[in-house]
Structure 1
Amino acid sequence: MNKLKSTLGIAAIAFITLTAVSCKDNKKEHDNSDDHHSEMNADDNQSKMEHDNSDGHHDGESKEMAMSGDGNGTSQTILNDYFNLKDALVADDAEKAKGLGATIATSLGNLDVSSYTDAQKADLKDIIEDAVEHAEHISESEIDHQREHFKILSKDVTDMVAITGTENTLYQLFCPMYDGGSNWLSMSEEVRNPYYGSKMLKCGKVQKEIN
């Protein structure tokens, strides 16, 4: 059994190391090639244009935009606002992220918890209070600080989903490079990193699937 645990531990370390090396290589290529940087920006701009035109090229992003509920008060509305905020950070759009920070703060505050048990209500209250605080910081900050708060907001939203459930399959992605390792949620397995945006757009791995 000890030998098995040791083997699994070595495998886990190797996975994280390989991911980090891949991200570092990505960053090195970015730093050493202006042409590559331009291509990444062009690709990101094209992706945003396709997303805005709803042509279905990025199916995951289109689904994220389409999952809004019938108004405030549901976890699905919060998820929709969260994914829009994530996309703004992916696009390095601090001003849009500010507005979306205020939006998700409102939808978080309007979450209807009446159908949950007393214990779940207490947990959701703590989660929502913390998430609203970080969303409000995002609405008032520059992009580097927005990303710091988005990391904690992502944990809060993940904890919320563990209680409320989700109508759609979600993916938890992991970036080993940002702040000692950071997670975020997406409806797509495609890696589009909200912590680095165009600097390291593809840095990260799918960590788990949430149903």
Structure 2
Amino acid sequence: MKKYIITFLFVLIGFVSTTAQSKSNPQLVKLYQNYLSVKSALASDDVKKTSMAAGEFLKTSKTVNAKMIAEKNLISLKTDATTIAQGKKIETQRKAFYNLSDIMIGLAKENKLSDKTIFVQYCPMAKGSWLSSEKQIVNPYYGKSMLDCGSVKSEIK
């Protein structure tokens, strides 16, 4: 009987920890969705669309509980999103996107941001990475001039 109780407890503990890890946080999921909008806007070379998408990202970042993200990363996300939202040139917006992407990649590795696979992609020409919800490369650093430059470096499931 003791053996069955111990086995049951191990199974229960495993289930609880798996359930806790697989739960996604709605604020972080929304942040990831906003990030994808910024990435898509950059890839389309549209400064205004990128500014609007970054504005939405910034709004969402202000709702994120500071306990979910290291304070320095949250501040950096807000700063980068502000730079992108206020950017008048696509080059300025893309420059801030490097750091924004690096932090979001870290968040994606530590948290469940999507029920689908998240692809970490990299452009050797830009020397920058970004997240994507699809395997196909749509490069935010060069837009239409080199839209398919890059490769999938890893997958986050």
1:149 matched to which residue of 2? 96
| TM-score in terms of structure 2 length | 0.78
CA positional deviation for 1:106: 1.3
State the alpha-carbon separation in 1 of the partners of residues 31 and 105 from structure 2: 11
Structure that is richer in helix per residue: 1
1:185 matched to which residue of 2? 131
2:113 matched to which residue of 1? 166
Please say if residues 137 and 146 of structure 1, whose CA atoms lie closer than 8 Å, have aligned partners that are also in contact: yes
Q: CA offsets per residue over residues 137-174 of structure 1, 9 Å max, x none?
A: 00111100100001110011112223322332100000
Please say if residues 108 and 128 of structure 1, whose CA atoms lie closer than 8 Å, have aligned partners that are also in contact: yes
- 1:122-137 aligned within 5 A: 123-137=69-83
- 1:52-201 aligned within 5 A: 74-112=27-65, 121=67, 123-141=69-87, 142-167=89-114, 168-178=116-126, 181-201=127-147
Q: CA offsets per residue over residues 54-110 of structure 1, 9 Å max, x none?
A: xxxxxxxxxxxxxxx9xx961110011000111101110111111111110111121
Q: Secondary structure at the match of 2:64?
A: coil
Percentage of identical aligned residues: 27
Segment drifting more, 156-165 vs 91-100: 156-165
State the alpha-carbon separation in 2 of the partners of residues 206 and 196 from structure 1: 16
2:7 matched to which residue of 1? none
State the alpha-carbon separation in 2 of the partners of residues 73 and 196 from structure 1: 31
| TM-score in terms of structure 1 length | 0.59
Aligned length: 132
